[in-house]
Amino acid sequence: RLERAGQAREALSELQQAVAVEPQSVEAHSQLVRLYHRLNDTARMEQHYRAVTAIVPNAVMANLEYGTLLAKQGRFADAAAAFEKALTANPDHSTAHAMLGQAREELKQLEEAERHYRLALDTDPNNRRAGLLLGRLLILADRRTEAIPYLEQVAQVSDASRAFYLQRIAQVYQEADEHDRALQYLEQARAEAAAQGQERLLREIMQNMTQWQKAQ
């Protein structure tokens, strides 16, 4: 509750007390891994990751958070190993499949990447990250007919994240040298971000738009 209220440091204090009372608490250590990740305290995040995986090696939350950190550092093989551990504990974890697929794609293991994106969507058809990543993989593999339904499904969901995903779809088409279609989606993203009052994202979209128009 403290974290949801924006009181991250207070939440951290409560979790530290929880670990002091119960050093073997998988939940408390896992929450500390997640919170230290959010606070960019890598050393303490790794400390609690080691603590929780010494108790439960395949702890889902801890391995997802640690794998995400490793992926940000470009350590994709290590990230994939962490995501595999999470899937050992929960084979139907849609987010873990999507993240493992992304790590496999970075490692140029495209068939494995596609397999995990599809498994993510089998488990949760509304996983927009997996839909976007699968659509991108397919369109860059010149499998456009297969890709479009996934990208369109991602674009149709109307919520606070819609502008972000429309921008990402635009970037997929820009990568695929479909510049007119990229600008169409970017314009949709601009309108959505403006309607939602998402000023930071709107500035980023406008910068993209200016750069892409100049490049045409």
Question: What's the pLDDT tens digit per position in 1-27?
Answer: 888 888 888 888 888 889 889 888 888
The DSSP output letter for 39 is T
Dihedral sign for Cα atoms in the order 59, 129, 143, 108: negative
Angle at 125 between CA 177 and CA 202, to 5 degrees: 50
The DSSP output letter for 141 is T
pLDDT score of 194 more than 80: yes
Roughly what angle, to the nearest 10 degrees, separates helices 42-55 and 26-38? 160
pLDDT score of 208 more than 80: yes
pLDDT score of 158 more than 90: no
User: Token pair for residue 106?
Assistant: 């970075």
Could you give the 3-state DSSP secondary structure of residue 198?
coil
Confidence band of 54 (pLDDT split at 50, 70, 90): very high
d(CA 57, CA 72): 22
Query: What's the mean pLDDT in 113-126?
Result: 97
d(CA 37, CA 60): 15
The DSSP output letter for 84 is H
pLDDT of residue 190: 96
Angle at 158 between CA 209 and CA 170, to 5 degrees: 25
Confidence band of 169 (pLDDT split at 50, 70, 90): very high
pLDDT of residue 1: 86
In the block, tokens 């603590």 appear at 51
pLDDT score of 215 more than 80: no
Confidence band of 206 (pLDDT split at 50, 70, 90): very high
pLDDT of residue 38: 85
Tell me how far apart the 2 most distant CA atoms of the chain are, in Å. 62
Confidence band of 138 (pLDDT split at 50, 70, 90): very high
Mean pLDDT of all residues in the chain? Answer: 93
User: Token pair for residue 193?
Assistant: 């971000």
